[in-house]
Amino acid sequence: MQKILVARPIFPDVIDRLKHYFDVEWNNGDALPADELTRRLADKDGALTAGDPVGAATLAAAPRLRVVANMAVGYNNFDMAAFNAANVLGTNTPDVLNETTADFGWALMMATARRITESEHFLRAGKWEKWAHDAFLGPDVYGSTLGIVGMGRIGQAIARRAKGFNMRIVYHNRSRVAPEIEAELNAEYRTKEALLREADHVVLVLPYTPENHHTIGAAELALMKPTATLTNIARGGIVDDAALAEALRARRIAAAGLDVFEGEPNVHPALLTVPNVVLTPHIASASEATRRAMANLAADNLIAALGEGPRAGRPPNPINPDVLGKARS
């Protein structure tokens, strides 16, 4: 029986599914340190991960490893050049979290604009003594201009929600979406710089790549309106968190909502000291139904890639399909 490692705690019923096909080693505790993950993969044929870094050294130490199934859409934790060189398949879990993540992104943007976290902290601290006409004023969402950076599936889902708020939608993407999608969403393409100058609310939903590192830094923040908000539900590293903390402290933008961070689970200390930021611990996809769908899709990918189950040899979501059918090198 082939051996696999499930590197993170996931739903026990998904583990039971995997046990039908494999000899399963399950880490049901904290995330494994890099050296321990490498050690445990040494005799495995496959693995299910959730953001755990897998690079050339780990692959070299695991000569039997043929597939690593990531329980996430993003896969910047994988060194894909090393995967391709070793003919190891990587898979991910797109689509099943689009609507849930868009819901959360919308909620985070609303909370940011309307200063919900800041005002709750004020209330809990016992500081609310009277109504005031100028207490916690924030920018409107309805009828404003929404800038979406990254117009993939989740970006488009956010744009659909914006139509109900009578928002003007501008977007930036690596390439323009099809004209029919622009027409359906009533979305107008902009350069990144033009979008930042124009938008009242900027939402980031682009994938992390080395080219996208610090897509939003000090120079970009300086282009934004002082009344604008920034929401990041994409990946840590897309925003320069230190530069953002300084911009928030200086009120160069009104507020930010962040679900992802550079070096998470660590958060830049300066972000913890400014009041005009809403911080959440990478939970945009965290509905039970969606997280179960992600876990089961990761399992489907792993089962099929290792030649088991009804889709044997045809995993639903290969990242590097060119390695399918090739011998491990």
Report DSSP state, residue 168. Answer: E
Could you give the CA distance from residue 38 to residue 148 in angstroms, rounded to a whole number?
38
- Is 282 a catalytic site residue? yes
Q: Which residues are CB-neighbours of 85 under 8 A, at least 6 positions away?
A: 56, 329
Is residue 188 annotated as a catalytic residue, yes or no? no
264 in catalytic set: yes
DSSP 312: T
* 318 strand-pairing partners: 91
Q: Rounded CA gap, 110 and 48, in Å?
A: 34
Report the distance separating Cα 299 and Cα 291, nearest Å.
Answer: 12
Question: Which position has the token pair 């509905």?
Answer: 287
Task: Please report where in the chains the tokens 């970009």 appear, as a residue.
Answer: 220
CB distance 205 to 150 below 8 Å: yes
**Is 90 in contact with 68 (CB distance < 8 Å)?**
yes
Categorise residue 186: left if φ over 0, alpha if ψ from -120 to 50, beta otherwise. left
Q: Is 242 within 8 Å of 269 (Cβ atoms)?
A: no
Q: How far apart are CA 112 and CA 310, in angstroms?
A: 45
Residue of 66, 235, 268, 291 marked active site: 235
Q: One of 39, 197, 282, 292 is an active-site residue; which one?
A: 282
Sequence length of the chain is: 329
Q: Within its chain, how far is the Cα of 165 from the centroid? A: 24
- Active-site entry in 99, 182, 264, 308: 264
State the catalytic residues.
Answer: 235, 264, 282
